[in-house]
Amino acid sequence: MPNIDIQFSFNEDDILQVSAECSGIDARTIQLNINETNDPDEIFLSSGPSAVVLCIDVSGSMSGHPIEQAKKAATAYINKKSGSGAMIGCTAFGSSAATVFPLLKDISSMLAGIDKIKMGYETCGGGTNMEKGLRQSIPMLDEKIKGFNKQIIILSDGYTSGNVRSLIPTCMECSITVHTVGAGGGYDRALLEEIATKTGGMFVAADNIDNLVEAFLSLAEK
């Protein structure tokens, strides 16, 4: 059977580069079609790089060591994605939610944003409302992001107020995969598993807060 391995990457000028390795087929018969757009704000992603929003719990229970480990985990994830052409954004949620930084491809800008995260980031407050965090994240992966590789990674260490389940159908309709990470021992495992399962994502347990980096790195392969 013919085998074609197609790889996508962005060069330093943010130009998409496509390469293909073929076996079992005459290379002269291969035709590669690339869709173009005249809209500079429209981004076409199919089997290429991912568009990911990191949605980080900054509630009161995340203060101190947990929030520092969350930042280390996000940093490790971003560094792991370096060179893949991935676009990564970040939101934070407590009682309310805020955008830490929009979808970016510049690693240094992402890391600078992660460094600013703290408990109660901006006006997020000390509660835990995952619905507001997810609601803040979904529009970042709007209709201008074409394809099937849109992802949100939710990190939470507690039980949530609000009705985050109401947003699961929206994620499914928008082809957004939601991965969930439970931090520490006090999170709502059943809810996090449900969100991940219904959206085609993966749930990762980091009951030991020091395992957050490992948890995020496992999701960097998705």
Higher pLDDT, 139 or 47: 139
The confidence score (pLDDT) of residue 185 equals: 87
- The rounded distance, in Å, linking the Cα atoms of 216 and 80 is 10
pLDDT in tens, 145-176: 776 589 999 999 999 999 999 999 999 999 99
The confidence score (pLDDT) of residue 23 equals: 55
For 51-219, which CATH class? alpha beta
With a cut of 60, say whether residue 37 has pLDDT above it: no
Q: Helix 65-81 vs helix 107-115: angle between axes, to the nearest 10 degrees?
A: 180
pLDDT in tens, 113-139: 999 999 999 899 999 999 999 999 999
Extended strands (E) in 61-214: 87-93, 97-104, 145-146, 150-156, 176-183, 203-206
Tokens 């970042």 label which residue? Answer: 140
| DSSP letter for each residue of 89-122 | EEEEESSSEEEEEEEE--HHHHHHHHHT--TTTT
Low-confidence winner among 36-45, 123-132, 187-196 (lowest mean pLDDT): 36-45
- The rounded distance, in Å, linking the Cα atoms of 219 and 104 is 18
The ranges assigned to domains in the chain are 3-34, 51-219
- The rounded distance, in Å, linking the Cα atoms of 69 and 46 is 32
Spacing of C-alpha 174 from chain mean position: 14
SS3 20: strand
Is the pTM higher than 0.85? The answer reads no
Is residue 20 within 8 A of residue 29, CB to CB? The reply is no
The confidence score (pLDDT) of residue 5 equals: 59
The confidence score (pLDDT) of residue 79 equals: 97
With a cut of 50, say whether residue 25 has pLDDT above it: no
